[in-house]
Amino acid sequence: MKANFVGVNDEEIAMLAIDHLVEQGCRRIAHIRGPEVTTSIGRLLGYRRALATHRLKAPPEYVTAKESTDGSGYDAMRRLLRLRNRPDGVFAFNDAAAGAIKAVLEAGLRVPQDVAVVGAGNVHYSDLLRVPVTTVDQSSLLIGQTAADLLLEAIEAKTPTVPRRILFSPHLIVRESSLRRK
């Protein structure tokens, strides 16, 4: 490692989301993934690991979307809903989960009763949507502040600093998009 890293364990984010969906009764869990970057790859690995832990299997078509646009969650969910054996739970790479919820509702289905949805990121509007999004908070503000502190420390140091790797623990914020059991 040649530079500081401040972040969160992406596999752990996925595992929190999948564990929650399983606790809510979901057994056919899909994953709306992001682009080929370490964050997305880590969340895909965590998704697969969590399914294996719960002895669940997902057909290859349950992993969809490799883009990261505002409409990617919506488009990916529409593809998933066309499957003969559609998922009853979805973990989205980020809070594109909002688009997935829109697609479910437009299809005349209910969130979370027909399809439970969990995202990641806890964007500022997650709780303001028609169906507030359950999300995994990755402490984005704390990550940014810590990274800035490390940068200032490196700038002010008289000698090179030893790079550090700092990982914060993600935490699940349960809202209506996934809450089947109270």
pLDDT digits (tens, 9 = 90+) for 97-110: 888 999 999 999 99
Q: Would 131 be classed as within a structural domain?
A: yes
First to last CA, the chain: 44
Q: Say which CATH number the domain at 83 has.
A: 3.40.50.2300
Contacts of 159 (CB under 8 A, 6+ apart): none
The reply to whether 122 falls in a domain is: yes
pLDDT for 102? 93
> What is the structure's pLDDT at 182?
58
Residue 182 lies in a domain: no
What 3 state SS string does 104-141 have?
A: HHHCCCCCCCCCEEEEECCCCCCCCCCCCCEEEECCHH
Residue 10 lies in a domain: yes
- pLDDT (tens digit per residue) in 88-138: 999 998 877 888 999 999 999 999 999 999 999 887 665 656 688 899 999
pLDDT digits (tens, 9 = 90+) for 27-57: 999 999 988 888 889 999 999 999 999 999 9
Answer whether residue 179 is part of any domain: no
178 falls within a domain: no
Full-model pTM: 0.89
Residue 180 lies in a domain: no
How many angstroms separate the CA atoms of 127 and 125, rounded? 6
* Size of the chain in residues: 182
- Residue 119 structural domain: 5-173
Total number of domains in the chain: 1
Residue 79 lies inside a defined structural domain of this protein: yes
